[in-house]
Chains A and B, each alone.
Chain A
């Protein structure tokens, strides 16, 4: 097995381990809460949570949850610019993680029929990268120029923006180096609508492009892996926690509505029946 593959595999194990520890720690923290005000043994709590989760799979409740989660309607109400920023972050993260990273890893293990030169794959990854950069630009503009809403900038905010910038910029650089090193023809490369023009601009430089591709690949991988490892310990953990909170509160709101309706029905009943019942 080539040493690069071994090193990547080991890094992957470490990162997934760090991620899993953070995730397990947070789930253990969550399950220290009461189940609707009751103290229950661990497994009963887990059962209680599962019982609640299934309530989301119900027509209007599910629709409301999905619209709030995937389209982030409530953020749109807060302002178009911040919605645009967040929706670009959100979807670029989803695409780059599930298509660009996990998809490619599965393809390299022969589990998916994808290559980096597939037009859709090249286009989607470049597009998601552009979305992420656009989002970073809006975030910086809002934080440092508009100074909108921002109360405090913590170290983790800077770390996350730097990590995202490293991942996306190294991704484009990697794509350019690959296109140059592999001398990809224009009709194949053009779907990388950022990477390809960049490769045309850089192609004149007298560099060992195979070596450069390998070096940039490590920068990209270490950046990406750092992000994944840091996720459960940073505010980005809301990516995992928010859908649960949104689902729980959507279900609760529906339940309140239902109880109010039932109460209204009760009061319509004849008085003696109500009092005796």
Chain B
């Protein structure tokens, strides 16, 4: 029996591709590699042929879909499928509105079930199974970053009950390169008088890295635990500085938590600003904004961060040529850093170069992974442009 990984809609979408190659034009991975099996339209064509050769009316399989790929071909197709950040620029550009990101996820699910995923993803899966975080550190150290803060409260921001839960995420919690983001955000929350808590060791990975690896089934246990913890805290609002966690909670968890408002940190800051609860001070710099894929294209949050940046007095806000739905990817998504770190680095370098062309002093983003990727590319290049997260900037210019 064929797998349950594709919906009827998705199988129709495979036939709806007109091979116009508009998706290829926007694919940064293809731009870097020029590899046919990375090109979205050709990737789709290869998997369509495979599925048609395996499914449907037996007499027509050969006629409609061609032959089944052999082991080497399938391996090459799998490599192509994982050389993708799932940034969904292809989906935004598709004239036939094909939901390509969802298709890539289903294809990865199919490949992982056949054991064709990169080995590095098994390590990530095992880490989550054992330690409940994707980086394989003891989960008790999840809030260790608080210990390094100058003025952390005794409870280390971990309270039994609170109005707001700040869900930090694995990368923000464990990666020293971007721990400045949760540090800035807890200070921001404190200075704005929020009744909030972080979850510390009670926080488990949201499952996003496994979802994009094609291991959706691994998420269930994480989901049950995380939802339970948020219920225990009795929060009305959850805030995320990680767009991937935000996207996962929004799409996979939210049904379990009716009445709990899920906000990305950019939305939270913008809300306070709109309600007149905070004021931002002067910043005499030229700033630009990088749309994180999982926040912009994949969650539809484009305007709140821009509203915050435009409201900073003295700051000159400039847009990069490709922004919002056509925004560039930092190369850090879709587990690409695990399956092809060189490609991830190449994408980050091209994106950084495009931002440098705006003449901005600061690239503001709203994602720890984007910050990390762009920061690494910047250091490699020796560029002078500063990369920061919106919450860091908001804290910097926050007026008492």
State the A residues within 8 Å of B (CB). Answer: 21-22, 24-26, 28-37, 39, 45, 48-49, 68, 72, 74-75, 77-78, 82, 86, 149-152, 154, 157, 232-233, 235, 237-238, 240-242, 244-246, 248-250, 252, 263-264, 266-267, 269, 271, 273-275, 277
Contacts and interface: CB of A to CB of B under 8 A. Distances in A.
B63 A233 contact: yes
Interface string B1-25: 0101111111111011111111011
A245 B24 contact: no
B279 interface: no
B9 A33 contact: yes
Nearest to B41: A151
Contacts of B8: 30-31, 33-35, 45, 48-49
Interface of B: 2, 4-13, 15-22, 24-25, 30, 36, 39, 41-42, 51-52, 55-57, 60, 63-65, 93-99, 234, 236-237, 254, 258-261
Contacts of B237: 267
Contacts of A75: 20, 22, 95
Given A29-B52, A33-B10, 15 more contacts: A21-B60, A24-B60, A25-B56, A26-B64, A29-B65, A33-B8, A78-B22, A152-B36, A152-B42, A235-B18, A249-B97, A263-B254, A267-B261, A274-B236, A275-B259
Nearest to A264: B261
Contacts of B21: 149-151
Nearest to A244: B12
Would you call the interface of chain A mostly helix, strand, loop, or mixed? helix
A25 B65 CA distance: 10
CB-based closest 10 A-B pairs: A274-B259, A25-B60, A241-B15, A33-B8, A29-B56, A245-B16, A241-B16, A75-B95, A267-B261, A33-B11
B19 A235 contact: yes
Nearest to A64: B97
Contact of A30 (B12, B25, B39, B97): B12
Given A33-B10, A78-B93, A151-B41, A238 B16 contact: yes
Given A33-B6, A37-B7, A78-B22, A266 B259 contact: yes
A267 B260 CA distance: 6
13 contacts: A21-B63, A22-B60, A24-B57, A24-B60, A30-B11, A32-B2, A33-B7, A149-B21, A151-B24, A241-B15, A245-B12, A245-B97, A263-B258
